[in-house]
Amino acid sequence: MLPLPSAAARPFATIAARSLGRSFSTTPGMAAADVTRLGVAGAGQMGLGIALVAAQKAQVPVTLVDSSQASIERGLKFADKLLEKDVSKDRITKDEATTIRERLSPTTRMEDLSSVDFVIEAVPEVPSLKTSIFAQLARVCPPHAILATNTSSISITKIAASTTPKDNPTDLSAASRVISTHFMNPVPVQKGVEIISGLQTSESTVATALALVKKMGKIPSQSADSPGFLANRMLMPYINEAIVCLDTGVGGKEDIDNIMKNGTNVPMGPLQLADFIGLDTCLAIMEVLHQELGDSKYRPAVLLRRMVDAGWLGKKSGKGFYDY
């Protein structure tokens, strides 16, 4: 019979067992690796925010990749606007703003990520798009580079599997470097970042991800690879139920938002928050929760689907529950 751990050691043994249950990577644990150049795939609101915070707070050069030159130009204009605002409020000097801006290197070529130490994918919540990008990243990025996703709901294990050779599923050389660094919107303002490991993720990958987000001035929280992770597992059903209340006449949009703002001291109500997140993003996450967990309580509100069908996506489209 194997000896049982002492009473003092049992909590640590339990933690170790849980950790092993979530990861099957054989890569040995080690200290966090240095990140001297970051890559960001996707120049939308999230990708640009991540790139800008990394350039400003972590002071690392960033290669910003997007297949659309127009998206890159919009993103860089937004970056300039944010930096100008910081200068006007005396948060940074003009020289510092120039230095930060010079750290951003835009490109439409995925091959330009060949020299990064860490790359963060920030494209829309479309599973096939993300797995396609990660298959490319595994080929293009250096063999030591951490491959991170900003997904808010899609399985990290599934994304990591897209980097594994089909003829050799035990080859975890790329999959062990896949992790989620789920930043919150807007990235320059929100401090929280979820760190989610897949079954394949190595300890060294986790250590490097934690170190990088801390260097970016963020506060990480670790989550298991479960649908919605922590934040959206709690947040999206709350938003979805607010939409159901609106659709079924329980209350008007202002009443729904005001009771939550004035009754629970949150900065904005659920409907306004949904507009800021993007109603298409809310719908995509609710669909993942519903499909993966199979519980009817996660079924997307009918009104949410209709608004997305109408193209009323919230702040980014100019119309959602409110007009912008």
- Cite the active site residues: 152, 182, 194, 232
127 membership: H or E segment, kind and range: helix 127-140
Residues 6+ away with beta carbon under 8 Å from 243 = 270, 271, 274, 301, 303, 304
Looking at residue 314, the DSSP 8-state letter turns out to be B
CB distance 130 to 159 below 8 Å:
yes
Q: Strand pairing of 219-223 and 38-41?
A: unpaired
Q: What are the phi and psi torsion angles at 252 (to 5°)?
A: -80, 165
C-alpha dihedral (73, 74, 79, 84), degrees to nearest 10: 100
Among the listed residues 132, 170, 146, 124, the one whose alpha carbon sits nearest the alpha carbon of residue 281: 124
- Antiparallel, parallel or unpaired: β 192-197 and 178-183: antiparallel
Nearest CA to 120 among 197, 70, 63, 186?
A: 63
Tokens of 37: 């150049």
